[in-house]
Structure 1
């Protein structure tokens, strides 16, 4: 008989099926976590995570048998999902897709019960059809080169942050829970994805030109050598980025965690510094402190970048 754990979430009572199902087996790099532990984690971080999810189409990374079993990525919302889970229908080539949207803690718990380990979010909101193609986030993805270490990621983040400061664009850092860091810039919803990606590419090119031995914008791996790739490809319509506080499908259940610029100097910092055991503490520290609520236009930054490049 399948075991069920009943949890009360706000006004809703939800069933967690097979709560003792091990999703993250114990290993040399981490302890064991069950589905019940995943549900408890997402309930704990909901106050910090939901502001980064509301209104955004999601892609769900599901692992029904845990991280050692098969996975699949889910965009369409199944018909059997309860009607109180928000949905949004967005255009795609040749038709539309009905994505789930996570607006409340009950939805987080329901999706965790569906063995959704990782939430990947759009960089734009779908609350207005005329603005779906206008992102309010710009993301630089910094992963170490093959064989590289996290020190190269730290260096790239510092250099990129300094350049963005010169361009008067506030930015936030986030460990990805996987290999590297994301550097996130809040935007006003004025520019389309093509314009945002073009600007991000210009910033990356400027930085790579200034530090050619350490950084590159070469798309082909064989042309990068041991240089860190400044990846701006997520800045496109219907592309996603891992959400803040999302759990990654790695041993030990590491978490994508927002960090402060001061924490970049912490000797303990790496991409998997926080796990579901302690990420809520990082959330309570509020390292972004309202940063994402104040988007910037790219117009002034473009002019400053042109002036800098001569």
Structure 2
């Protein structure tokens, strides 16, 4: 029998709570839902007004993974949706605006992926961005330790243009840099990010590559600038990932980035993230301060 839970006045059917999603640790679906309910005050602002892409893994990371952008079949009528322009034609996508919608989506067992713009901006300009992101992806034998070195360089380079960057783990192998921006199209942010990635490769040719070509990446950090494109998405802060263990994309301090000497130091599981948020709050909260948003240089 599927238990029915009421969340903020909405009735939710939560299924298979005892099912083990992460066999390496025995972490269950019920624990996954508890994580999202606990982390919701920090997570929801990062989801709100951003069309959600689902990377679903209902049978755990060892099972089938599938990516979906359109509103899933059976979505409750009270879940907010929005029509989003796409090159192949408009599509209707989910917006997770509240706790009830978050718990409904979490029950589907999904990674949360969001774009670098919010839906209000689409009404004015489909290409207007409010975030800049770099996805730092290490090619073995490089690890997140090398990503940290690159992140520190990019932080200084962005600061030189008046842009404050914040860091989070990807929840997988790498590191994400995020900054609030204003007054620029997604296309322009993408061009700027690519320029900085090329500069980083020029400054650290033995460590950085800005092209996706697999043969160039062993032992280097791929600075992925392309996720700034309007059609692209990035793992949302605090989302659990479809990995052997229930690791999350966790905000980190620059002190942690500077001091990182081993990959395990920047690997955070669900229980770690809940504890960190309980003690420190959302380290990415400054991204929501309008005065903190930087403007790209001419």
TM-score, length of structure 2 as denominator length: 0.92
Mapped contact 1:255–1:272 kept (Cα < 8 A): no
Aligned length: 292
Task: List gaps (5 residues or longer) in structure 1.
Answer: 303-310
- Aligned partners of 1:271 and 1:92: how far apart in 2? 39
Mapped contact 2:35–2:270 kept (Cα < 8 A): yes
Find out whether 1:280 has 2:280 as its counterpart.
Answer: no
Mapped contact 1:150–1:270 kept (Cα < 8 A): no
Question: Pick from 60, 65, 70: which aligns with 2:59?
Answer: 65
- Aligned partners of 1:135 and 1:23: how far apart in 2? 35
Higher helix share: 2
- Aligned residue for 1:291? 287
Please identify runs of 4+ aligned residues in structure 1 that moved more than 4 A.
Answer: 266-272
- Aligned residue for 1:177? 171
- Aligned partners of 2:178 and 2:46: how far apart in 1? 12
Partner SS, residue 197 of structure 1: helix
- Aligned residue for 1:234? 227
- Aligned partners of 2:86 and 2:40: how far apart in 1? 30
CA-based RMSD of the aligned residues comes to 1.8
Mapped contact 1:180–1:271 kept (Cα < 8 A): no
1:247 Cα deviation from its structure 2 partner: 0.2
Task: List gaps (5 residues or longer) in structure 2.
Answer: none
Question: Pick from 98, 108, 115: which aligns with 2:109?
Answer: 115
- Aligned partners of 2:266 and 2:245: how far apart in 1? 9
- Aligned partners of 2:166 and 2:233: how far apart in 1? 17
In the TM superposition, what whole-angstrom CA distance separates every residue of 1:256-294 from its partner, at most 9, and x where no partner exists?
A: 011111121155665862111221222231323423423
Structure 2 vs 1, CA of residues 266 and 148 (structure 1 numbering), >3 Å: closer, same or farther? closer
- Aligned partners of 1:218 and 1:60: how far apart in 2? 26
Question: Pick from 141, 146, 154: which aligns with 1:160?
Answer: 154
TM-score, length of structure 1 as denominator length: 0.89
- Aligned partners of 1:225 and 1:79: how far apart in 2? 41
Structure 2 vs 1, CA of residues 272 and 23 (structure 1 numbering), >3 Å: closer, same or farther? farther
Structure of higher CA gyration radius: 1
1:204 Cα deviation from its structure 2 partner: 1.4
Structure 2 vs 1, CA of residues 267 and 292 (structure 1 numbering), >3 Å: closer, same or farther? farther
- Aligned residue for 1:12? 10
1:227 Cα deviation from its structure 2 partner: 2.6
1:219 Cα deviation from its structure 2 partner: 3.1
- Aligned residue for 1:306? none
Partner SS, residue 128 of structure 2: coil
Structure 2 vs 1, CA of residues 225 and 279 (structure 1 numbering), >3 Å: closer, same or farther? closer
1:5 Cα deviation from its structure 2 partner: 2.8
- Aligned partners of 2:217 and 2:33: how far apart in 1? 40
